[in-house]
Amino acid sequence: MIMLLLTACKMTKTKKPLNILWLVAEDLSPYYLNAYGDSRAPTPNLDRLAKEGVVYTHNFSVSGVCSPSRATLATGLYPNSFGAQNMRTLNQQAAAREIGIINYQAVPPAEVKMVSEIMRENGYYTTNNPKEDYQFFKSELAWDESSIYAHWRNRPEDETPFFSIFNFSVCHESRMWNFKEHTFDGDQFPPDRNIKKGNEKNENSNVPLLVPKDLEVKVPPYLPQNEIGENAMRRMYTNIIRMDKGVGKILDQLEEDGLLDQTIVMWYSDHGGPLPRQKRLLYDSGLRVPLIIRYPDGSRAGERDDRLISFVDFPPTLLSMAGIPAPSYMQGQAFEGAFSVKTARTYIHGHADRFDERVDMIRAVRNKRFKYLKNFHPDRPYYLPVAYREKMEVMQELLRMRDAGTLDEYQAQWFRTSKVEEELFDTENDPHELNNIAGDPAYADVLASLRAECERWIKAIDDKGFIDEVALIRTFYPNGKAQLTDAPIIDIKNSKVTVSCPTLGARIGYRYTSEKVPYKGWEIYTEPIEEKANDTLEIITHRLGYKYGITTLANGIIGKTVYPPNRHDK
C-alpha cells in the first residue's frame, strides 16, 4: 500500500502540464459558420474541432471592437474598469487629436499582470503571433516572443509546456475592401526569419471569391437587400474559408509535432462580424462570438455547451486549465479547468465608448434571452460616421440609400438622429434586435431587473466611462507623457546581484547579453542572480502602462538606465 501511494505521488508530481493553444479569428460572428448552423462556407478544420471538441453557443466579447476586447483577454479586467474602453488609445485619428486626445497607454492597477506573464512565471513558454493591440504596450515579460516568427517550435526545450496564440486577420473588416493575399494570414506559420521584412510574399492581385458568384445568401435585414449586400456576404464567406485554411495549417503542425493530444486548443474570434451594424455595436451581431475548445483526451467531444461566457472569463479559465489559481483582481470566473466555478453566469456585460473620432457611451447587460442597453447620450444619433468603415462598399450603399430616401424600416433604424435612453430586446424572438420592447408593460419586470444589474455592474467595476477622456489621460500621463518605471536598485555581494524597484507594480526581468536570442524572453527575476565575468547583465523594470527601463551591469559597474523609444516618441 505504501509503495502504491509513493508511486501515485510521484506520477502526480511528474505529470506534464498540458499545452494551451489559442487560435483567434478577427471580426467574426458565429452565425455564419457550419458549426453554428450555416453551411455556406466550407470549414473542414473548424468542423473537425467541433466534432472532436465542445461548441460553446453563448460566448460574448466585452466590446464590439478589438482593442478593448484584447485588453480584457490580456488582463482579466473589463476595459472600462481601468480606462481602456476607448477605441483606440495607442494611435489616434487626426480628429481625435484635435480635441486633445493624444496617443496614450491605459494604465491598469499596479497589481495587474498580463495573463501570459503569469503563465511564464509558472514554467510555460509563451508566444504571440503577432497581433497585440491591448490599449497599452505589452509587458516586456509577457512573452518569450511576440512577432510574426513566434511559434511553440522555437522553445529551447521540447519538453517545456507552451501557451501560444496565433491571430488570423483575414476576416477583419478591412478585408471587405482590401482583398490582397498575404502569407501571414495563416499560409505559413512561422515564416523564415531570414526573409528580410518587406520582402515576404504579398501578391497584388485581388483574391477571388471562394464561393459561387451566385451563391444564395441571406442578407441581414439591416443591410441592403440587393446585389451589393449579397456580394458583401459572399466576400465574408470567402474570408471565413481562408481563415479556416490557416487554422488547418496550425493544426497540421501540432499533429506533425505529436502534440495534438497534449494540447488544449481554443478557437474563437475577437468580437462580432465585420459588416455595418455589427462591428463596434452592442447588438449580438457585435458582441456574440464563436468558441470551440478541443480537449486532448477526447472528453465532451461533439458536445454543445449553452452556458453564458464572457471574455473576462478567458484569463482565469486559461490559468485554471494550467492548474494555476487566478489572482483575486481578475473580474471573471473560470468556466473550465481545475478551478472552474460550479455556478454558471446569469449575465454578460458590454460597453461602447469612443470609436476613432466619434464619441458615445452605451452599456449592455444580457441574460440568456434578453438584452438591455443603456444609452448615456440619447441626443446623439445611432449611426456615427467612422471614416474607416466607410471604405466598405456595402456601407457606401447604405449611405447612398439613406440620401436617396430608399431605406426600408429596418435599414433606417440605424440612422435615427436620436436614441431612447433604454432599449430591451428579446433575442430569442428578435435575433437582429430590431424591436425595442422597453416600453411594453409585459416586460416591465425584465426591464427593471436588467436595469438594476447594469447599475450594479457599473458601480462594482468603477466604470471609467464617466470620466472625460482628456481628464482620464491626465491621470495616466500627468505631464502629457508616459510615466517612467523607476530604475532598479541593484546590490552586488559575492557576485550575487539583488534587484528591487521602487515603482509600485513594477516587474523585474534580466538576461545575459551572451544568451540573447529573439525567441527567448526576459527571465523573470525571483531571487538573487549571478554576475558573470566578461558578460553583460541587462535588467529591465516595467509596470504596465509605463515606459520600461533597461539597466546594464558589467564587471561590477552599473550603467545608466535607458528608456527605449516607442511609437509615441516619434
Instruction: Give me the active site residues, please.
Output: 66
Q: What is the identity of the amino acid at 239?
A: N
3 state SS of 300: coil
Inter-CA distances, 331 with 107, 341, 461, Å: 17, 13, 8
Q: Contact 539/553 with Cβ under 8 angstroms?
A: yes
Does the bond joining 234 to the residue before it have cis omega, within 30 degrees of 0? no
Does the bond joining 221 to the residue before it have cis omega, within 30 degrees of 0? no
Pairing of strands 19-25, 263-269: parallel
Q: Contact 526/542 with Cβ under 8 angstroms?
A: no
CA–CA separation, 220 and 44 (whole Å):
25
CA–CA separation, 219 and 387 (whole Å):
23
Q: How many Cβ atoms are within 10 Å of 201's Cβ, its own excluded?
A: 12
Q: Considering only CA atoms, which of 335, 247, 238, 237 is closest in space to residue 48?
A: 247
CA–CA separation, 369 and 427 (whole Å):
6
Per residue, the 3-state secondary structure of 416-437, as one string, reads CCCCCCEEEEECCCCCCCCCCC
Residue with cell 468580437: 271
* Sheet-wide strand order for 362-366: 348-352, 362-366, 370-375, 422-426
Which H or E run contains 378? Answer: none
Pairing of strands 496-500, 348-352: unpaired
The pair phi, psi for residue 364, each rounded to 5°, is -130, 145
C-alpha dihedral sign at 309, 312, 315, 316: negative
